[in-house]
Structure 1
């Protein structure tokens, strides 16, 4: 589910969604950066990434993917895991921090929609109420999608590092080298855009349906 159809049907709702997503991406990467700092690694801070300025975190291709297909990524926060006070715990917490933030944002937006529904605002919505409800629904859906997408155990997505935090330490140097290989990154992106796109889209659609059903939406 890309955002371009929304731009054509409701430019104001599109603008609100983009604003929420810019903040969401910034919070996702800020979560990684601040958690890394708490765990003893100041690499992200030294590169100016402990910030809520979205333009410090945006990735051109990842942002285009969000607009076109509804899932994508921001520019990864640089970390140096050997600096963590507790290597495995630091790797796990830093990796999952952004995902947790996206889930919290999706949940908050779903609760707003649930409140609007319970209060009767969505019975015959019109004007700004309709725009607000539509923007909240789309932004919640994309935040949920970003959380689930980042859980995929495919380097360099967050899920791969979550899995890595449980793997034998002797495997870690090979995984870091794989992530640093630009050829691998290109191949992984092509797989996500081609072979894996349809099953991934179907799975994400199922997750979104179950999520909103859980809130009675």
Structure 2
């Protein structure tokens, strides 16, 4: 891949990725504030300014490496701080705070699909220019990234959002023990994304379980916009 194509690939993946993960994190913070925890607000994290959310590895290095390697681009931002003890009903409200991120991603995916559908319909039989192709590529990737982030974060293990939901449903003693898995969050992420696929295709949890669900959801949203991909 030559340099212009590489820069184009990075642009059409990194731009929607950064927007998606920023909205995901801000959603957590806003819902936490709604239920009584102002930690994110006091930390200056209730902003769409990506600089406040950038994680050097997850937002910059990893996506760039994946782009150069022609691999599916993935990443994360710095987690928005939430203190569950500050919530009015910590167990229930922490579940809602956790679900806010994936739900926001799914809403963004639906809106992006509708915008892409409107763009395609507006073109009719007119061949798209370079700018239109760039916008369409960003919208399409925005759908895919948001859906993948939403589905991936619902994995029922701490520190993923799905893990917080499971904690809220478990009896309190079991929830405390389950929450201790969060300390292994980054190793779990590396195992799921890198180690297992390298060992064997049959051990690729993301490819075998997450990807088919994400693909089905992407197809659903594109179908709503009367787009077939």
TM-score for the superposition, normalised by structure 2: 0.79
2:121 maps to 1:128: no
Partner of 2:58: 62
1:47 aligns with one of 12, 34, 43 = 43
> 1:112-127 residue pairs with structure 2 within 5 A?
112-121=115-124, 124-127=127-130
2:28 maps to 1:32: yes
* Per-residue Cα deviation, 1:51-92 (whole angstroms, up to 9, x for no partner): 222122222332244442423322112211121111222111
Give distance in 2, aligned partners of 1:88 and 1:122.
54
Partner of 1:159: 162
Partner of 2:140: 137
Partner of 2:212: 206
* Per-residue Cα deviation, 1:1-47 (whole angstroms, up to 9, x for no partner): xxxx7985363564354333322222111111111111111222222
2:90 maps to 1:87: yes
Question: Any gaps of 5 or more consecutive residues in structure 2?
Answer: 67-71, 198-202
Give distance in 2, aligned partners of 1:124 and 1:202.
37
Evaluate the alpha carbon distance shift between residue 23 and residue 39 of structure 1 in structure 2; reply closer, same or farther with a 3 A threshold. same
Report the 3-state secondary structure (helix = DSSP H, G, I; strand = E; otherwise coil) of the residue aligned with 1:190. helix
Name whichever of 154-163 and 17-26 sits farther off.
17-26
Question: In the alignment, is the contact (CA less than 8 A) between 2:24 and 2:102 conserved in 1?
Answer: yes
Question: Any gaps of 5 or more consecutive residues in structure 1?
Answer: none
Report the 3-state secondary structure (helix = DSSP H, G, I; strand = E; otherwise coil) of the residue aligned with 2:155. coil
Name whichever of 189-198 and 110-119 sits farther off.
189-198
Partner of 1:191: 191
TM-score for the superposition, normalised by structure 1: 0.83
Give distance in 2, aligned partners of 1:22 and 1:72.
8
* Per-residue Cα deviation, 1:144-167 (whole angstroms, up to 9, x for no partner): 111111111121111110111111
Report the 3-state secondary structure (helix = DSSP H, G, I; strand = E; otherwise coil) of the residue aligned with 2:169. coil
